[in-house]
Structure 1
Amino acid sequence: MASSSLVLATLFLATFIATSNANFNNDFTITWGDGRGKILGDGDDLTLSLDKASGSGFQSKNEYLFGKINMQLKLVLGNSAGTVTAYYLSSMGTTHDEIDFEFLGNVSGQPYTLHTNVFAQGKGNREKQFHLWFDPTKDFHTYSILWNPQRIVFSVDGIPIREHKNMESQGIPFPKNQPMRIYSSLWNADDWATQGGRVKTDWTQTPFTASYRKFNADACVWASGSSSCGSGSSPSSTSDWLTEELDSTSMERMKWVQKNYMVYNYCADVQRFPEGLPTECSVSS
């Protein structure tokens, strides 16, 4: 197993993994916030802001059915307690699918909590939470979702932090039939976001601002009832990501992150599930 120093060096180098440029004017629409969401310059950058009156949000113009999604974010600086910056994929309706990154703010000097979750057919409750090995407010970092018919992988700067496998063979629903848009929002959730709601939003610090750049989607676009990659839940494509899985090196990196930075795992919360942990918890997910 890799030593801690080697893993740290790998994490440091992975910070500089590049993603291709995108144009937010072409790919996204500001959906709410009354001017608090802004696409800047020629469309290379986007910001969302939150004040006491309102937060803000945007969504992708395209829907996707499987993809490898990358976005660089720089989170709210300073005292971000009570704020949530959400970046996720979601379909619509009561039986929706969803793949979540949520960044829960904290008081100055305390770490952000990176909250992840997976919904399938309207059912979530699959939360895993992490602290990060860097300050996500000082610079941009890349947050990625790999979603293919076999698995969902959450990554930070190219380092996988969580894998959620398709276990339909064991009767567990997996997101594979509903196309999803990309969403992001910055909003106030001080009733629960920071230390269970004990720390409230300090409105003297407004406006709170999160910044975005270098979106990239190597993905199957869904339009008019069909996928750009072909039909069915196993689309025909030459894209490597459609069959991508974690190799031994990636597995070791993920285990290292989970050992050192995971602060909540629903599969270890026996008090929450007194009748027994969810079935998928018997398999790494």
Structure 2
Amino acid sequence: MAGFNSKTCVVLLGIFALVGLASGAKFYDLFQPSWATDHFTYEGDVLRLKLDKYSGAGFASKNKYMFGKVTVQIKLVEGDSAGTVTAFYMSSDGPNHNEFDFEFLGNTSGEPYLVQTNVYVNGVGNREQRLNLWFDPTKDFHSYSILWNQRQVVFLVDDTPVRVHSNLEHRGIPYPKDQPMGVYSSIWNADDWATQGGLIKTDWSHAPFVASYQGFDINACQCNDTVAWSDNAKKCSSSAERQFWWDTPAVAELNLHQSHQLLWVRANHMIYNYCTDKSRFPVTPAECEHHRH
């Protein structure tokens, strides 16, 4: 990005969002293939990743970010997708990394896709929630977003919140707010666990399995990962001199409509919540005691 000091964070103003274009940026504006480039195909603005018995495929953002919103539109694998996983996630580096996951778990023909979300903080995950969707995600493109600020992490499907992970540092619970994160997506074979706990395996006679992408958008604070984490966090946080949109009251917490949407999703579409899994967690995880959602 010419004209910027490489040792500072810069705000991506989200030009496409500002002018009201929902399609977002082109793939190569923001991302690059990270493995199996021969499993990528392009049809206009649509990127397709394929999984076959030889390989899956994945891509990564060219930069890392701290706070903001990332979105991609995905049309998931049609037909028998059992054993496959398509993922869209943010992650930092290292053993004590932070990570926010969307994982779309394939299924046999006619059965619904399951969406698993997870949050890692300082290298610790095991915060899975699973839900089914209120539409068929294989028939058309739908938007999947992660909103991240110092108050909350919100997972959204077509702008409907499906999960909130709140900052509970005042309760002594760590919150991911000090590590720049890349944005990633991939498709791979996970038939040891993805479909009915691994009971149903991938049927390679139905390969290749294809996930399609468009509408790439990152409206976030871009960071240089050679800079100290504390400096990145400082430059990407609002101060008396500047106010970033992700720190404004409008996105500090869900509004009333969004809260109702989240309650509807939880009541009608959530099928697993780690917070209520006594077999895994005889003692309820600390954040579950305090999260309102």
In the TM superposition, what is the alpha-carbon distance from 1:37 to its structure 2 partner?
2.2
Q: 2-side partners of 1:233 and 1:217: how far apart? A: 15
> Which residue number in structure 1 is paired with residue 137 of structure 2?
136
Q: What is the 5 A alignment of 1:232-271?
A: 234-236=237-239, 237-243=242-248, 244=251, 245-271=253-279
Is 1:206 the counterpart of 2:207 in the alignment? yes
1:184 aligns with 2:191: no
Partner residue in 2 for 1:76? 77
Structure 2, unmatched stretches of 5+, are 1-19
- Judging changes above 3 Å, is the alpha-carbon distance between structure 1 residues 33 and 93 closer, same or farther for their aligned structure 2 residues? same
Pairing 1:1-285 to 2, within 5 Å after superposition: 19-41=22-44, 44-223=45-224, 224-225=226-227, 231=234, 234-236=237-239, 237-243=242-248, 244=251, 245-274=253-282, 276-284=283-291, 285=293
Equivalent position amino acid for 1:283 in 2: H
Q: After superposition, what is the alpha-carbon deviation per residue over 1:27-61, rounded to whole angstroms, capped at 9, x for unaligned?
A: 111111141023443xx321111000000000000
- Structure 1 distance, partners of 2:21, 2:195, is 32
How high is the TM-score relative to the length of structure 2?
Answer: 0.86
Residue identity opposite 2:121 in structure 1: A
CA RMSD of aligned residues (A): 1.9
- Does the 8 Å contact 2:23/2:214 carry over to 1? no
| Per-residue deviation, 1:190 | 0.2
Bigger mean CA offset, 212-221 vs 19-28: 19-28
Within 2, Cα distance between the matches of 1:34 and 1:159? 33
| Secondary structure in structure 1 of the residue aligned to 2:38 | coil
* Rounded Cα–Cα distance in structure 2 between residues aligned with 1:46 and 1:53: 20
The whole-number CA distance in structure 2 between the counterparts of 1:18 and 1:201 is: 38
Contact 2:67 2:246 in 1 (8 A): no
> CA separation in 2, counterparts of 1:233 and 1:64?
9
Question: What number of residue pairs does the alignment pair up?
Answer: 266
For the residues of structure 2 that align with 1:282 and 1:18, how far apart are their CA atoms? 40
Identity rate, percent: 53
- TM-score normalised over the length of structure 1: 0.89
Paired amino acid for 2:279: Q
Distance in 2 (alpha carbons) for counterparts of 1:195 and 1:24: 33
For 1:218 and 1:20, how far apart are their aligned partners in 2? 13
Residues 1:246 and 1:211: Cα distance change in structure 2 (over 3 Å): same
